[in-house]
Amino acid sequence: MSKTKKKVVYAFLLCVFLVGGGGVYAVAAPPIKIGYVSSFTGLMGEDSTRNLHCWKMVMEEANKTGGLAGRRVELIVRDDKGVPADQARMARDLVYTEKVDLLAGSHSTPTSIAVGQVAKELKTLVIGYGMGSSPVIQRNRYFFRAVPHFTVQTRTMASFAHKKGWKKVALLNPDYSYGHMFSEDTGRWFTKEPGAEVKADLHPKFGCLDYAPYITKLMGIKDLDAILAGLWSGDVTTFLKQAVAYGLFDKIHLVIVLMMPTIEALGKEMPEGIYGVAHFYPWIPGEKVKKFVKAYYDYTGSDPGMEYNGYCSALAYAAAVRKAGTADTEAVINALEGITFDTPTGPMSIRPLDHQGTMRAVLGRTVYKPEYPKHAILEDFYMPDPAKFLPTKEEILKMKPF
């Protein structure tokens, strides 16, 4: 090829490159990136996966109508195997390399704390998830959570016990920070009623495989009305299996934090007539609830439970970005504080006081219905207004951060 021809070709290519590249850059606004770091390994793996589904659902829905603030939303997923160091490292990595606008996911207490620290240092917004992260939030401008402090659950349980007229209860919670805080709050709220007594405060170690000592101890307490339990995840399944074998619930009532994985795993082994509490069950009444449950079922093939927290987190973020009109961190934070947005269970807000949501707790009784052949469901729901159960400013200030 002659020299001039070469020059022409190069110039042409250069123009194409500039125009094309520039055009691409100009036409499509960069997507909003959400970094989802959680542990997909081990015990928390299933919860993480299900929460991720909810985020995907919300963001795909948003993308269908042009995205948030005019930009498409992208999810980048990382597995931190539950190691806080890795969670922090991946979070930093996502912020520096991928320039994410939001960090979502995170789960157990240590990983929540790890990512909270990153949020503070790098001034990145985090919408966390998981019970244990509450105390982190009060000291951290960048950390939000759609789920309220566990006081909503503990106080719902306690007020339900009041309603039933139970006077003597026992507390059963795992032996670590969350379990101790849970039992302390449940006990305190329950004993507000005159004549109400906590007869035992038991703390089996987290991951305990043999509840026999606790079961026999509970059975030995005279005139025990009920057990209020804040056991977690797989422990609930193990406890229920063993307790049923001993006949613990023949004479004693049980109110326990009960999640979908346990309900599905136990199947027909679940005893009828015990009370389960959570923030969401797919059988609570409401048209919007039914729609959401169906959408989730179509998307994943199972019923939603605790991942509703993730769903509301995603809705909160979407609403905040829409309100702020931008994904810029400071603007979104300002929008999030005090925002009220719509969810399948009604309007929900994020409190500026502690950056947490105002989701109510839901308590129901287990029963078997022919429409659900595989496992028990809950009915007769007690869903008190959470307003008086949310922690006050004084209570928050008294809580120690981790």
- Identify residue 124 by its one-letter amino acid code: T
Rounded to a whole number of angstroms, the minimum distance from the CB of residue 379 to another protein is 22
Binding positions for another protein, 146-175, rule CB under 8 A = 175
Minimum CB separation of residue 139 from another protein in Å reads 9
* Total binding residues toward another protein, as defined by CB under 8 A: 67
Q: Which of these ranges, 6-14, 21-29, 260-268, 383-391, lies near another protein under the rule CB under 8 A?
A: 260-268
Contact between 95 and another protein per CB under 8 A = yes
Label residue 65 exposed, middle or buried (CB < 10 Å: 0-12, 13-18, 19+): exposed
Does the footprint of another protein cover residue 96 (CB under 8 A)?
yes
**Rounded CA gap, 343 and 117, in Å?**
29
Please name which of 307, 312, 297 lies closest in space to residue 52, comparing C-alpha atoms.
Answer: 307
Output DSSP code: residue 96: I
The DSSP H or E segment spanning 254 is strand 253-257
Q: In the bound complex, what is the minimum distance in angstroms from residue 333's beta carbon to another protein?
A: 20
Q: Which of residues 233, 313, 345, 358 is near another protein by CB under 8 A? A: 233
Give one word for 366, left, alpha or beta, with left for phi > 0 and alpha for psi -120 to 50.
beta
Query: Any residues with CB less than 8 A from the CB of 113 and at least 6 apart, and which?
Result: 84, 133, 136, 402
The structure tokens 């042409």 sit at 12
Interface stretch with another protein, choices 63-71, 111-119, 274-282, 341-349 (CB under 8 A): 111-119
**d(Cα 151, Cα 130) in Å, to the nearest integer?**
14
Q: Which bin fits 82, alpha (ψ -120 to 50), beta or left (φ > 0)? A: left
* Site mask for another protein (CB under 8 A), range 1-40, x = bound: ---------------------------------------x
Per CB under 8 A, residues contacting another protein are 40-43, 45-46, 49, 78-81, 83-86, 88-89, 92-93, 95-97, 109-110, 113-114, 117, 121, 132, 175-177, 180, 203-206, 209-210, 212-214, 216-217, 219-220, 233-235, 237-238, 241-242, 244-247, 261-262, 264-269, 401-402
